Amino acid sequence: MTTVVVPRKALEAALDPEKAEYLTGAVVDYVNEIQRVGIYSGRELPAVAMQAYHADFYLAQVYNGGHSQFIGNTGGAMLPTTSGDALAGLKAMGSSAQHQILQEMIAWVEAHPGEAALQNGFENRAAALNALDARFYEAERLQPMTPLAARWIANWPELRAVAKEQYASEIERLAQLNPYLSQRRIWQGVRQIGFQMTDPLQITVAAACGAVAPEPELKLMVLPGSDMDVEGRQCMTFGVKTDKGARLCVYEDAGGQLYEYGPGSQSPKPAEMHEILKSFPPSLVGGRLSVVGADAIRNFSRIAEQNLAAEAIDLLLRKSGLDPTTMITALDVSDDRAAWYAVTGKTCVLIETLGDRANMIGPDGKPALTVTRAEIERHAAEAAVGRDSLEIRA
């Protein structure tokens, strides 16, 4: 990829130092959007785009929680790449004081790997990093990064400014230049379905929702969790959103249990659930809706892998013209078969995955669409190509 697309108004706004953030923000939006739509890895995008992107990330993190938060939120695996990009961007834009500070932070991390791994911007904050924060804020007061970044970006030969109405179509055009786009989109769909079937928490919630009688509930979202009192015991409990409203799922070695969210209490919004769970009153734990054992949960994951269930469901959804971005509910499982609900948009479909095929079940209870094991394996091979292409080019 050799092009960076921004709305023309963002480029025009950069002529005013007071509006410089419109152009730096437009580059951040471009990187996020081209990676989402075109599924490019960061190393496949123009180097300057990633340098500006990570320089902006560095600025935002330090302003929000200091160098300690920048280190903690970036993570040890990504810190060398992110810091290296930001460093190159700071040098290119002429932000010399901030460049020097980041160099010193990198040196500190290399000299103190153990302490660096503990940084989170809150209770764990190294004194050396606090000192860098103070210097950074003073450097920003004297010569802020953003106007310098905007001036640098405006002169990129890679920059292409388009009308706001053309932006989405230009992003799509660039996405289509990715030779691995189809395989990567398949891999992306298969991965998010497979995660829901094999991640211990996700499959526990999926099975607990599917075990509700007389009618299963559809898992729509799993929210953050917390230790709380449930029926006189301290349990790790996660918020869940289903088609029936807000629920609570107890997650433990023995399996999972789904509960109503309080008798007669108003369902919280998903954004509020995390705060509620921090100090969840026992009175808001309602009646128990289902219990699912660890053996059944493990069987769902085993059959999912054995029957290539994620690949099968992704393929069936695509063949049906449905969005493969889906939420999975686990209904029942036997030695060689599992049944799942897949919710995509406002559509819910029932799918059974077997050793030699997978069926999408119609309203009459009969297979409306079938894919064979050979078709599923070919789809899995396409997904593997997409996965491998991302790993090679990461």
What DSSP string runs through 31-98? HHHHHHHH---GGGS-HHHHHHHHHHHHHHHHHHHHHHHHHHHH-TTTHHHHHHHHHHHHHHHT-HHH
Asked, as a colleague might, if the bond just before 214 is cis with ω within 30 of 0, I would say yes
pTM: 0.83
Task: Produce one character per residue of 32-43: b if its CB has 16 or more CB atoms within 10 Å, e if not.
Answer: ebbbebbbbebe
In whole angstroms, give the CA distance from residue 45 to residue 4: 8
| Confidence band for 228, pLDDT divided at 50, 70 and 90 | confident
What digits encode the pLDDT tens for the residues 138-164?
999 999 999 999 999 999 999 999 999
Among residues 143, 140, 139, 149, which one has the least CA distance to residue 20? 149
In whole angstroms, give the CA distance from residue 340 to residue 353: 8
Place of tokens 């433990």: 252
pLDDT surpasses 70 at 174 = yes
What digits encode the pLDDT tens for the residues 99-113?
999 999 999 999 999
* DSSP designation for 265: P
**What average pLDDT is seen over the chain?**
93
Mean predicted confidence (pLDDT) in 363-367: 95
3-state secondary structure of 313: helix
pLDDT surpasses 60 at 29 = yes
pLDDT surpasses 90 at 123 = no
In whole angstroms, give the CA distance from residue 110 to residue 132: 16
Angle between helix 79-93 and 47-74 (nearest 10): 130
In whole angstroms, give the CA distance from residue 175 to residue 1: 9
Of 64-78, 200-214, 279-293, 352-366, minimum mean pLDDT range: 279-293
What digits encode the pLDDT tens for the residues 248-268?
999 999 999 999 987 544 555
What digits encode the pLDDT tens for the residues 295-338?
999 999 999 999 999 999 999 999 999 999 999 999 999 999 99
Handedness of CA 63, 64, 69, 70 (dihedral sign): negative
* Res 280: pLDDT: 45
